[in-house]
A and B are shown apart, each in its own frame.
Chain A
């Protein structure tokens, strides 16, 4: 069982609609939680990063939330665009000198016109 679980596995929405992706984690010791966007066949690009004490972070139409008590995070996308079609990966970065990270399996988002 992955220590970083994302839901849903895939999602289809119409252009202009909002959506929310979920990430629950059990891995520790927690340092940061980062959301990446990965277009098909390309490398992931960081969208947001949050530490233990931050509970919301925005990057344009992307807003991430973090509840460190319940170990849950969400990524909210507002007014979706066709270019938002991608895989969204939740990554928990560990508070160790090795700086290792645990990746979620990702949510595949498809935005249709």
Chain B
């Protein structure tokens, strides 16, 4: 199994809603990532978890709250988002966090904030 599975594939939410994005991998990877990608732009790193602990937070607003309940799961909790937060949210995982470890990406969740 070399897949990173993200759910849902699409999500439309209002600015007062609370929702969560989910990511799952069963490759035994110990590093997991959240990226945000706007149209025609490269992915931007948001958070990195290593061995279920948050190791990198790229100054992401607190309306995005990551959670890593176990080594296979990564969640991104969303609350009070703005329309400009609409984007493709990508989850990735890798064997470790060091160099030369390939990151496997999920298909992404297309988020629209209305």
Query: A residues bordering B, Cβ < 8 Å?
Result: 31-32, 34, 41-46, 49, 51, 89, 93-101, 103-106, 108
Could you tell me the distance in whole angstroms from the C-beta of B39 to the nearest C-beta in chain A? 10
Nearest CB of B to A112, in Å: 19
A82 to B56, CA, bound (A): 38
| Size of interface on B: residues with Cβ below 8 Å to A | 29
Residues in chain B within 8 A of chain A (CB atoms): 4, 31, 40-45, 48, 55-56, 88, 90, 92, 94, 96-108, 110
Are A45 and B105 neighbours in the complex by a CB distance under 8 Å?
yes
Q: Closest Cβ of chain A: how far from B35's Cβ, in Å?
A: 9
14 contacts between A and B (CB under 8 A): A32-B99, A43-B90, A45-B105, A51-B100, A89-B42, A94-B99, A95-B99, A98-B48, A99-B31, A100-B45, A103-B42, A103-B43, A103-B44, A105-B41
Whether the pair B99, A44 counts as a contact (CB closer than 8 A) is no
Give chain B residues whose Cβ lies under 8 Å from the Cβ of A100: 45, 56
